Each structure stands twice: as C-alpha cells, then as structure tokens.
Amino acid sequence: MSTLVDFIPEALSTGTCKRKSFLLSRQSGMMISECRICGEKKVLSQWLHICSDCIRTDFDQSLPFIEKAHRKIKKEYSMPETPPHEGVPCGFCVNECRMKEGEPGYCGTRENKGGRIIPTSGSEAVAYVECYHDPLPTNCVSMEFCGERTTKGKQNLAVFYGACTYNCLFCQNWHYRKVNHTMSVDDLDSWVDDDTACICYFGGDPTPQILHALKVAGAVSIRICWETNGAFSKGLARKVGKTAFHSGGTIKFDLKAYSENLNYALCGSSNRNTLSNFAYIYETFQRADPPILVASTLLVPGYTDEEEVSRIAEFIAGIDPDIPYCLLAFSPHFKMRDLPYTSRTHADSCLKAAQKYLTRVRMGNIWLLV
C-alpha cells in the first residue's frame, strides 16, 4: 500500500522549493472560524459559515446558509437563483428545471422559447465552447488509465464547454462562466485533423450543451472521453456511455461528495443522478482496459474529509474495487479563496482511507500540497 510520500517529488519534500514556501505562506494565513450552528471553531469558508459536520447531520438548520450562498452567486452572474419548476420540462439533468415562456433554466444555457426547450445559442448545433490542442500524453486526471497513455507525436482536442449544471463554490474552472464564444458542430469538427487522436469534453460541464458534443462525436472516428459531474439524465447517461465505449474512451466522474447534503452545500445540486449514473454506466458498458470509468474527488479543506472520501471509496468498491480513483489537491478558487491549500496530512489520511476499499488510488496535483 502506498503512502503520500511515494507520490511527492523530491523538490516538494525539501524546504528549498520556492513553490512549497509560497504555498506554506498561504496555508499559514488560513481562516479558523466559528460554525454558526454548532459554535465549534474549524476551518470553514465564509461563504457558508457552517461546518461539514453540521451540513451532514443538521441539514434543516444548514439549508438557509446554503441557499443564501448559492443564490448570491447566481444573482451575480444574472442567472436563475434556483431551478425553475413551473412550465415545460427540460429533462437534461438532476435539477429538473421546468421553464415558463422566455425563462432560462438553472444552467443559463437552455430556455423555453415558443413552448420548446432550446439552447440560448439558438440551436443544438451551436454551443458556447472553446477548444485547443494538447500534445499527448496530457495532464488529464485520467491520463494514467487512458487508452492514449503511451501515445506520442499526436494530440488531444480539449473541448471546454461554457456552462454547468452545478454551482460549485470551489470551482477550479470557474471561468467557464465567461465563455461567450460560440462554435457550430462543423466549426469544432474542423479542429480534428490527422494528428488528433482523441477528444476530451469538459468545462464547466458538457451536460447543458451535450447534444452539441454528441453531434461532434458522431461526426468523427477518434477516441471520445468525458469529464463530468455525471448529473445528467439516465437517457443522456446511456448516450455518453455509448460514445465512450465504442470509441475506446473513458468517462471521468467528479464525485464531489457522497453525502447528498454536502454535495448540495458545495455544488447547489443533489448528487443522486451522479451516483446512480456512475453505477449504471459501469454495469452497462463494462470494459477492463482502458476502463470505462475513472472517479476523482477534490480534497476541499474543512469539507471533503477522510470520512467523505471513505464513503465515496466504499461506494465505488461496491461496484468494482478496481475502478481507478484520483484524489486531487485543492487550490483556493472562486468563492472559496478563503480556504487553505490541501495539506499533506489531509491528503495522506484520505489516500489511506480510499486504499482500504480500492486497488487503484492515486494522488493528483501533488505540487499544490503543503
């Protein structure tokens, strides 16, 4: 069984590393605050004012703090503060939006126009998206397990969608909210050349504009991979699974939390679709190499603790203990900039907790650990 030191390069294990010194200085300035429910002093974000224990065990008292935080962010970006639930159903994701005429959904990129739910871009063949080429092998979280892990001299087409079904307070790619560049299916398809070995869809999340992604996938003959929160509907889960399975691709699920309460607090949505779709895709599209599924969890200080990782790992092991699981070090981003970087102690305890259940666990973003 590995310990964290097995994953730490020598440069980060010495006091001479300038990067490490910078991170330690950030760590020392972390905020210890009093939870407004239990009164305990803990590492917690001022965007929530409450601790993970209270979120998991006293959701009724936690809910007003949670809703206030997410409403404030959505209002800041001129988006619906909560999923609308009157009108025509969208049916794309766990938020189960129903929109009145002219009303957008929670993701901001689907709306009711003339009694039909259509993209705000005007067409399912046009999306708010950016893309770029990455030489293989890339720094993708799933790269160690990907079918292109030994490929050299080729490139990946990274497709970054500017929308999301979640509203994560800690979002590491929060700038997806500023993507206003649109591309048609043909525009994106034109980026696939003889040197392009694979496409990886991420964001944000591909889900709100997933029909655009599926149209592109259907127009090319290369490996298709996905990075997603997995909150899409069961029908879309099947389509995502088919594109990855038949092309030799992998689907990386971001398992933010196991506790539905904590997932709602951190991300503004339930994780019930995420967990059920994770099991469904594995059971429907089993494949050993490359694996059809890879899971990852961001270790958010004060919230995604050893208990949460242990429950996630136990859930994955109940499906298959050989499913790869990547733990990721946290960097203060978006609304949780007041939290510290993930500590080596935090990472090591979570790594050991996951290894009790799973055979293929790794630590990512190790240069961020302090």
Name, in order, each residue with C-beta under 8 angstroms of 187's C-beta and a sequence gap of 6 or more: none
Domain boundaries, the chain: 33-76, 126-368
Sign of CA dihedral 256, 175, 293, 146: negative
CB 267 within 8 Å of CB 256:
yes
Report how far residue 367's alpha carbon sits from residue 31's, in angstroms, rounded to the nearest whole number: 22
Burial (Cβ within 10 Å: 0-12, 13-18, ≥19) of residue 346: buried
Q: Which of 215, 190, 19, 236 is nearest to 121 (CA)?
A: 215
Report how far residue 202's alpha carbon sits from residue 156's, in angstroms, rounded to the nearest whole number: 13
Mean pLDDT of 138-150: 91
Q: Would you state the pLDDT for residue 14?
A: 40
23 versus 181: which is more confidently predicted? 181
Tokens in use for 269?
């949505």
Q: Indicate whether 62 pLDDT > 60.
A: yes
Mean pLDDT of 137-158: 93
Q: Which pLDDT band, with edges at 50, 70 and 90, does 31 fall under?
A: low
CA angle, 183 as apex, 177 and 188 as ends, to 5°? 115
Q: Would you state the pLDDT for residue 30?
A: 53
- What is the per-residue pLDDT across 196-239, written as a single tens digit (0 to 9) for each? 999 999 999 999 999 999 999 999 999 999 999 999 999 999 99
Q: Which pLDDT band, with edges at 50, 70 and 90, does 140 fall under?
A: confident
Name, in order, each residue with C-beta under 8 angstroms of 265's C-beta and a sequence gap of 6 or more: 48, 50, 55, 62, 66, 303
CB 275 within 8 Å of CB 315:
yes
Per CATH, domain 126-368 is 3.20.20.70: yes
Is the bond leading into 104 cis (omega within 30 degrees of zero)?
no
The pTM (predicted TM-score) of the whole model is: 0.91
Label residue 216 left, alpha or beta by phi (over 0 means left) and psi (-120 to 50 means alpha).
Answer: alpha
Q: Which pLDDT band, with edges at 50, 70 and 90, does 32 fall under?
A: confident
Q: Would you state the pLDDT for residue 323?
A: 97
The partner residues of 117 in beta bridges, in order of sequence, read 112
Q: Indicate whether 70 pLDDT > 80.
A: yes
